[in-house]
Amino acid sequence: MESYEKNPLTSGLESLFREIRKGNFPLVKILIFLILTLLLTLLFPHGEKGEATRAAGTVWVDKDLISPFPFPIVKDPQVYEAEVADAESRVPPVFRRRENALAESIDSLRRIWAEIRSVVSSHAPPGKGAGAGNGRAWPGPNSAIPFLLSPAEWEALYHTDTGENGGLKRYLDSSEPGIREILGLLYSAGVIDTDGVKQGHPSIAIRSGNREEIVPVGKIFSRSEARILISSRLASAGGMSGSGVFLKSALAVLAPNLIYDPAETAGLLQAARDNVPRTVGFVQENERIVSKHEKITAETKMKLDSFTKARAERAIDSSEWRYWAGTAMHVAVILSLFGIYIVLFRRTVYRDNTKLVLIGLIILMEAGFAYLTVRVEVPQPVQYLIFVPAASMLLTIIFDSRIGFYGTVVIAFLVAGIRGNDYTIALVSLIAGGFGAYTVRDIRNRTQIFRSLVFIFFGYTLSIVALGLEQFEPLEAILTQLSFAFANSVFSPVITYGLLIFFEKAFRVTTDLTLLELSDFNHPLLRQLSEKAPGTFHHSMLLGNLSESAAESIGANPILARVGAYYHDIGKMNKPEYFVENQRGGPNRHSRLRPRMSALIIASHVKEGAELGREHRLPETIVDFIYQHHGTNKISFFYDKAVKQAAKKPENEEVREEDFRYPGPKPQSKEAGIVMLADSTEASMRAVDHLSPGRMEEHIEEMIRTRFLEGQLDQCELTLRDLTKIKEAFLKILVGIHHQRIKYPVEERATAVTVTPAGGEGGPSPENGGPASAKPVDESGGGTVG
């Protein structure tokens, strides 16, 4: 393995983080609890601690509700908004009339005709045989003549001005009365400047000076309607009045004489909104709001909602600090009950601050969902989109089914409080969450999460139908609730799947799914171990079987114990030839070393294994097995050897026992304690001759008793009953491994050969008088030296 160096600052920060994560700073736990309590308190409704909203059509199952104070009955927000919209629709838009509109239009008409005469008179008489557009350049539209006349129309006007029937001025002036009459008719009725008003309002208000007249929109003209009327009138007039120049002139001078007034209209709209009452009545003090078993009507529901709102306002106005203090205590009590369970029965979780933060985030996530359902005012049962089953499954997968269930209970009560004591949704969420936790309690692959959909929906269906029948809810309401519950059942597994991957990466938590992936023999570390240290690899596999069986017998995590055993000795890959299970004959490497150096090499596999595990990003839970599987045991073989050598020297060299101990720490979990016992038992068992079930049982019991009396199991919560069950589990596995075989005739004639099982470390040492080829054994167990 290539050596690598870390920045001292980085290493220091990582060490500090690990210490904080492992709970060595109690202040961190207090801060986590206080911050979570504060955030949850802020999500509670501001004093709205009255009865949860009841749907119209259900039955009030509580006792009679008597009002302790008078309050107004506030309209339902949707009803109020509908009334406001209706009032606004009755307000006519305001227009102001231009009194001089006709005079201005006639003046414009005369100016246009004067310009036309000027243009016509400025051209020379036409030449002989001239026709339309005989070389004369006629002008296009401009500010004086705002429309286009064709060359033919210009020629017609030119000939009118030079012909025998009189001049152009008389020709134009003769049509002015007809145009004046049409414009006068339009302006008298009114021409508006906003065409869309006629489609959106039945009438308008026309103001002229201090007078106001409400006129139906059918009696006024839009600009497009006025143009159509002018065209039809002039076309029907015939004679000179039907000429194109008159039509274009009339359309050019047409201008709206009813001008929209947005400021006055806005004032009328605001007045209409202000005139819509927000209340529909008043409830007196000591008046009954609703009776027990009374059906909740729309009117009763308004009273209940108004009572909840009024009580909230009175609570905030009179003693806001008292409300917040009470809410915080309410939240703290609920969290404390969950915390007490974790402290008493899940101390491994309690000691890990990262896991406490993770639990807090999951609880806070569900509280956030509940808060959104309160703030989003829609006439649908959105409370069934609080994804409590997702939290239940996350807690179960990351921790265990008991934490998953107790966490579901806590979340259900918090959701009920945030929703104004809505204990109906609390019960429904508790049942659905319980089913969700049940489906993933023994999860073996990630896709198994999605089978929970059916169970979650079954839990929702069971509770919603039961409560709906009990409260006499209409069938339509029950079906609507079930549709939202089905959406919850679909999205909860999806949320669980996504967040599980995020939490595993971000918080480096070790779930059973992570452990199952680590148990794959194709993992790079296990492949390297099997290639570089095959004896250690087979020893670890056997240890995995022993540890898993023992963990199952005492109710510990068998997958964690098995995977921890697989990786506990990966540090031996650096110097495999110094460990007996990897030696294949030849001289003993330790025969040329001082006992102190041999002990350092043996003990170094712990530290090197932990570094190797972190380099390959093994979870800290597995790295803990590497540190703890020897505890602070003494490397007794080399310690005894050092004492004997020191006694033979004249200067009587001092041998310190602490120099021959593993660095520790002692096992901190039941699973780590099991791996220690399995390691010691399996390694020392191969040094026992003439194994029989009775002798194996005595040896296992002796090894467990030794570790117990040495205090190596003081910090892992293994009880005496657990140790008895562990002994029985070890015995069952080891008897199957070291069973007696029938000797066949060919075997009786053969020379007896002693075979050491795979991963064996047994045999007397040459220092103890054994044969020269024998390997020394660390009698402390698990510390075989080569």
**Which tokens sit at 178?**
């007809």
pLDDT at 691 over 80: no
Residue with the bigger pLDDT between 194 and 767: it is 194
**Which tokens sit at 506?**
């971000």
C-alpha–C-alpha distance, residues 405 and 334, integer Å: 14
The predicted-structure confidence for 667-678, as pLDDT tens digits, reads as follows 999 999 999 999
* Of the ranges 116-125, 163-172, 755-764, the best mean pLDDT one: 116-125
φ and ψ of 192, to 5 deg: -90, 160
CB 416 within 8 A of CB 388: no
**Which tokens sit at 693?**
């079930």
Q: What's the pLDDT at 737?
A: 82
Q: Mean pLDDT throughout 205-220?
A: 87
Lowest mean pLDDT among 49-53, 293-297, 767-771: 767-771
> Residue type for 203, please?
S
Q: What is the mean pLDDT of the chain?
A: 82
- Residue 92, classed as helix, strand or coil, is coil
C-alpha–C-alpha distance, residues 782 and 625, integer Å: 13
C-alpha–C-alpha distance, residues 325 and 319, integer Å: 10
Q: What's the pLDDT at 371?
A: 93
Q: What's the pLDDT at 129?
A: 36
- Residue 52, classed as helix, strand or coil, is coil
- Residue 192, classed as helix, strand or coil, is strand
Q: Mean pLDDT throughout 152-176?
A: 72
pLDDT at 630 over 50: yes
**Which tokens sit at 367?**
């509280």
Cis peptide before 764 (omega within 30 of 0): no
The 3-class SS string of 493-511 reads HHHHHHHHHHHHHHCCCCC
Which H/E stretch holds residue 206?
A: strand 203-208
Lowest mean pLDDT among 99-108, 317-326, 368-377: 317-326
Alpha helices in 419-474 (DSSP H): 423-439, 452-470
Q: What's the pLDDT at 569?
A: 93
Tell how strand 65-66 and strand 94-97 pair up. Answer: unpaired
Q: How far is CA 76 from CA 278, 284, 344, 382, in A?
A: 9, 19, 49, 18
Q: What's the pLDDT at 731?
A: 92
**Which tokens sit at 490?**
């679909």
Share of the chain above pLDDT 70, in %: 83
Q: What's the pLDDT at 37?
A: 92
Q: Residue 347: pLDDT band by 50, 70, 90 thresholds?
A: confident
Lowest mean pLDDT among 68-72, 336-340, 534-538: 68-72
Q: What's the pLDDT at 50?
A: 45
Q: Residue 774: pLDDT band by 50, 70, 90 thresholds?
A: very low
Q: What's the pLDDT at 544?
A: 94
Q: What's the pLDDT at 376?
A: 84
The predicted-structure confidence for 406-457, as pLDDT tens digits, reads as follows 999 999 999 998 988 888 999 999 999 999 999 998 887 788 888 899 999 9
Q: What's the pLDDT at 19?
A: 56
Q: Residue 362: pLDDT band by 50, 70, 90 thresholds?
A: very high
C-alpha–C-alpha distance, residues 80 and 411, integer Å: 35
C-alpha–C-alpha distance, residues 484 and 384, integer Å: 6
Lowest mean pLDDT among 296-300, 519-523, 743-747: 743-747
CB 256 within 8 A of CB 188: no
Which H/E stretch holds residue 65?
A: strand 65-66
- State the angle between helix axes of 388-398 and 475-506 in degrees (0 to 180), rounded to the nearest 10: 30
Burial class of residue 707, CB neighbours in 10 A (0-12, 13-18, 19+)? buried
Strand partners, 76: none
Q: Residue 16: pLDDT band by 50, 70, 90 thresholds?
A: low
Nearest in space to 406 (alpha carbons), one of 455, 458, 335:
335
The secondary structure of the chain in percent helix, strand, coil, rounded to multiples of 5, reads: 65, 5, 30
Q: Mean pLDDT throughout 339-343?
A: 88
Q: What's the pLDDT at 127?
A: 42
DSSP 350: H
Residue with the bigger pLDDT between 604 and 197: it is 604
Q: Residue 294: pLDDT band by 50, 70, 90 thresholds?
A: confident
Residue with the bigger pLDDT between 651 and 351: it is 351
Q: What's the pLDDT at 17?
A: 53
Alpha helices in 90-125 (DSSP H): 101-121
DSSP string, 664-724: -----SHHHHHHHHHHHHHHHHTT-SS--HHHHHHHHHHHHHHHHHTTTTTTTT--HHHHH
pTM recorded for the entire structure: 0.59
* Of the ranges 228-232, 480-484, 517-521, 749-753, the best mean pLDDT one: 480-484
Q: How far is CA 232 from CA 251, 482, 677, in A?
A: 12, 64, 109
* Of the ranges 139-143, 248-252, 304-308, 570-574, the best mean pLDDT one: 570-574
C-alpha–C-alpha distance, residues 350 and 22, integer Å: 9
pLDDT at 626 over 50: yes
